[in-house]
Amino acid sequence: MSQTKRKGSHLGLIVIVGTLATVFLILIIAIAIFLFSTRLRADENASQSLLIDASPLTMIETDKIDPALALASLGGVPEAEIIVEAVKKERPETALAALLFQPDLSDRESAGDFLLLARAYIDDAQTDKAVFSYQMAGTIATLSPDIPDTVQADIFLQVGESLINLNEPVLAKFYLDQAFIIATRSPFLRAAQRRILLERLQKNYITLNERELARQSLDLSANPPDLDLRTDEVVELPSSGEGFAIPQSLQEAEANRWFKAQELEIILVNRGGHATSKAIQSLREALLTEDREKLPFYESELADTAQLSKKIELTRAKIAWLSIKYRIARKGYGLSLVPEWETEAEQIRADLTKTYEQLFSLYADLTVALPEASQLNRATEQKLRREILAGEVGRYPNYPEEQRRKQLLDITSQLIAHQPELKIFVGITTVNNQEMYTLQVVE
């Protein structure tokens, strides 16, 4: 009887322990599933966030911008000078913000400044941003129809050589290959220019252990391709006209903003980067007054004129102002200047996008007026490249990337079919699992 009780008690204990172990195991599995699903959702949300706002503007760290230096442009100093000064003073974020928000820099200036900025990031041990800056310079060189082939090839070589030093061999070869295409196929280079490029390429291909390409470069440098020299790289659109008259009230508003920005800049310098609320408030009021003067003026003038060239100039001026507003809304000067614009950032971005759309629509109207079909195709292709480039560098937010890309590939196909003498065209390829614009040739 006692043995039966002991057996029963042991059996009950085993059942209890087993049940507890099972419950514990189920609990562990449930916790693991919960943690995994939470991590998965977080990763998905992060990926979606990256896809939603993949603009280069997200690269700017506004807390690292030097406000005193950045505000100089609001005080009337040309942005190109500020970028050079920011690089010299080791303020790379200040230079980056100026580069990405300023729509009036030429493509040649922008590419050169990104090369300078990349070296500044290297000195600051920010390799990722250096690579980003080199890619931006390369993108500008690829898409811009305004940069001569000799300069374009030099940019590609500088980017490729620098990426070799940063241990980015795949990207480095991609840009060296772009330079190789220009050196061997461009109809706008002389033999001596080809020779210099090919000799430089040969050395870099050896560094990358690309022996076949190095041999080809060496052989071609000894006997450069003899192509018929052309001089019509860019289809010139009609002149933009004589400008437009700015009313006195608007001139005074702009001059007052310059003065208030200069005042704030001096205070920031004298107080070690600390601004007084009174100085910030004064600049805020000046900016709001200028906004109330400028936007209605642009809208009124655009509605009243039928002259296409004047419409283009007015639209470009409106883009310049909205770019300043958008930069302020995103604290792109390193401090909060107009808090109400920060809360309206999405609307300002939408206004800027709409104005860019209007600008490129006006450019399309200009190209239609060209007398020859061959000019029309080339001008359309160049217009699309400019539009895509404005989007790729972040100045044209939310631009219709997929639509413009398809249109570019379509017009490129037409150029290849009907104007093969152009030799080099813009296409798309994949590098390091990333789609990139590239130069291409048709055999």
CA nearest 314: which of 292, 295, 335?
295
Q: Are 95 and 59 in contact (CB under 8 A)?
A: no
* pLDDT at 273 (0 to 100): 80
- Residue-wise pLDDT tens digits, 235-250: 665 555 567 889 999 9
Domains of the chain in sequence order: 62-222 (1.25.40.10)
- 437 by DSSP, 3-state: which? strand
Q: Is the pLDDT of residue 293 over 50?
A: yes
Q: How far apart are CA 125 and CA 140, in angstroms?
A: 24
- Residue-wise pLDDT tens digits, 389-420: 999 999 999 999 999 999 999 999 999 999 88
Length of the chain: 443
Which pTM does this prediction carry?
0.85
- With cut-offs at 50, 70 and 90, classify the pLDDT of residue 53: very low
Q: How far apart are CA 11 and CA 400, in angstroms?
A: 72
- Residue-wise pLDDT tens digits, 137-165: 999 999 999 999 999 999 999 999 999 99
